[in-house]
């Protein structure tokens, strides 16, 4: 009997990519696959995204794993390279690099490379994490254009910290600033993450970088994927492994943190923080058994969680399937109950969980 399992719906994944293209019809799509494709399985997800124009990852090892898996599309390293000795690896594997720092530019200028590199110059328009300052842009751009180690087209990008909030006009300010910074150039432009794709049509330009929405999950505040006609790709499921009766006053789980107020029945389900389920999920966080929602009680253990099924014990038996999040229970909702974001829940699914890739 399979216990903790992440069921991955491949047609939903493909549908979501088509949905990105429908929302941003004039943009090429960089499918963001960092962190094991947000917990969905790096190579397998990449293999199913043949309609993407490029892939993007955060680390060179992730890009190498894609090449080892036989993927031949362009791969962009969103943080670039971290040491000059990485440059031959980039060239040998046809990786494109972001340049966001003087140290990277100097390494490219001073290296003796066999071929020119494809480069994305990242400008900081207000996130204040990575990117060259607006005042540095002309200097970086000119040096990249003049450098024999760089391909003639220098792509330009920036990133949004607040695009998930359509009521926050900071994103529009960034779009305007970026447009003015790059106005003297004629390069490919890339601004939008998923929230930019969904919330900010003015940010689409030549390329979009979509991650979360490909997995059918909403990046927007107080929304779920289906609000944008996206389909959740992951269903995290397990099974009931015991049924337990408790009476008023009984305490449940480590630390006895939950105390039973009246006679009830608990279903013990095989899922815990050892599978990546959030230990801080609050009392009452929903799970779905046989189409109905029930709340978790007590502390989340490493391997198990207790669920209060009240007087429904006749309908629920050992072996029944439990959905922890997925099409009938949005991961966005579980994230709120655990005081986190859906990105973290998806990335945190651990290797103990088995993966089932479903073609229909
Ligand atoms: C992760 C990442 C993205 C994708 O963000 P989503 O919100 O998942 O669409 C885009 N751009 C950069 C630079 C990133 O690091």
At 62-114, the pLDDT tens digits run: 999 999 999 999 999 999 999 999 999 999 999 999 999 999 999 999 999 99
What pLDDT is recorded for position 153?
A: 97
The mean per-residue pLDDT over the stretch 304-332 comes to: 95
CATH number belonging to the domain at 10-218, selected among 3.20.20.10, 3.20.20.140, 3.40.1190.20, 3.30.565.10: 3.20.20.10
What pLDDT is recorded for position 178?
A: 98
What pLDDT is recorded for position 70?
A: 98
Ligand 1 atom nearest to CA at 30: 10
- Which CATH class, in words, describes the domain spanning 234-358? mainly beta
Residue 158 CB less than 6 A away from ligand 1: no
Residue 32 CB less than 6 A away from ligand 1: yes
pLDDT at 1 exceeding the cut of 90: no
What pLDDT is recorded for position 210?
A: 98
> Nearest CA to 286 among 331, 240, 347?
331
Please check whether the two domains, 10-218 and 234-358, share a CATH topology. no
Angle subtended by helix axes 137-146 and 102-110, to nearest 10: 20
Cα separation, 185 vs 187, whole angstroms: 6
Flag whether 1 is marked binding.
no
C-alpha of residue 83 to centroid of ligand 1, in Å: 23
Cα separation, 124 vs 11, whole angstroms: 36
C-alpha of residue 341 to centroid of ligand 1, in Å: 14
Q: How confident is the model at residue 329 (pLDDT cuts 50, 70, 90)?
A: very high
Any idea which residues carry the catalytic annotation?
34, 254
Q: Which percentage of the chain shows pLDDT scores above 90? A: 98
What pLDDT is recorded for position 314?
A: 83
What pLDDT is recorded for position 312?
A: 79
Residue carrying the six token digits 């038996």 = 317
What pLDDT is recorded for position 358?
A: 97
Stated length of the chain: 360
Flag whether 302 is marked binding.
yes
Q: What is the CA radius of gyration of the chain?
A: 23
Residue 191 CB less than 6 A away from ligand 1: no
pLDDT in tens, 255-312: 999 999 999 999 999 999 999 999 999 999 999 999 999 999 999 999 999 999 998 7
**Is the entire prediction scored with pTM above 0.95?**
yes
The mean per-residue pLDDT over the stretch 224-236 comes to: 98
pLDDT at 156 exceeding the cut of 80: yes
pLDDT at 214 exceeding the cut of 90: yes
Q: What is the dihedral of CA 279, 293, 322, 336, to 10 degrees?
A: -30
What pLDDT is recorded for position 313?
A: 78
Mean pLDDT of the chain: 97
Termini Cα distance of the chain: 22
For CA atoms 252, 257, 262, 264, give the dihedral sign: negative
The b-or-e profile of 59-68 (16+ CB within 10 A means b, else e) is ebebbebbee
Residue 219 CB less than 6 A away from ligand 1: yes
Ligand 1 atom nearest to CA at 343: 8
Boundaries of every domain in the chain: 10-218, 234-358
C-alpha of residue 228 to centroid of ligand 1, in Å: 18
């Amino acid at each position: 009997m399979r216990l903790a399992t992440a069921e991955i719906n491949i047609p939903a994944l493909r549908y979501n990519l088509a949905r990105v293209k429908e929302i941003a019809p004039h943009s090429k799509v960089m499918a963001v696959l960092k962190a094991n494709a947000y917990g969905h399985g790096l190579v397998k997800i990449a293999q199913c995204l043949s309609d993407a124009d490029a892939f993007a990852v955060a680390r060179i090892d992730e890009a190498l794993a894609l090449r080892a898996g036989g993927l031949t599309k362009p791969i962009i390293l969103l943080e670039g390279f971290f040491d000059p000795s990485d440059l031959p690896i980039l060239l040998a594997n046809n990786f494109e690099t972001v340049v966001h720092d003087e140290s990277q530019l100097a390494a490219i200028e001073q290296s003796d490379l066999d071929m020119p590199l494809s480069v994305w110059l990242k400008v900081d328009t207000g996130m204040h994490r990575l990117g060259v300052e607006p005042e540095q842009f002309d200097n970086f751009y000119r040096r990249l254009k003049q450098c024999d180690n760089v391909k003639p087209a220098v792509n330009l990008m920036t990133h949004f910290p607040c695009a998930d909030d359509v009521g926050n006009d900071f994103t529009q300010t960034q779009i305007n600033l970026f447009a003015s910074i790059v106005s003297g150039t004629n390069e490919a432009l890339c601004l939008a993450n998923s929230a930019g794709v969904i919330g900010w049509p003015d940010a689409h330009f030549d390329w979009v970088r979509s991650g979360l929405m490909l997995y059918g999950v909403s990046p927007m505040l107080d929304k779920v994927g289906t609000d944008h006609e996206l389909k959740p790709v992951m269903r995290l499921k397990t099974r009931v492994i015991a049924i337990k009766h408790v009476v008023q006053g009984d305490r449940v789980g480590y630390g006895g943190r939950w105390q039973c107020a009246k006679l009830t029945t608990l279903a013990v389900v095989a899922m815990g923080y050892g599978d990546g389920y959030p230990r801080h999920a609050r009392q009452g966080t929903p799970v779905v058994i046989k189409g109905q929602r029930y709340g978790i009680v007590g502390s989340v253990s490493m391997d198990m969680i207790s669920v209060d099924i009240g007087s429904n014990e006749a309908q629920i038996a050992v072996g029944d399937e439990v959905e922890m999040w997925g099409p009938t229970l949005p991961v966005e909702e579980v994230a709120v109950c655990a005081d986190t974001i859906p990105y973290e829940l998806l990335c945190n699914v651990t290797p103990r969980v088995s993966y089932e890739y479903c073609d229909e």
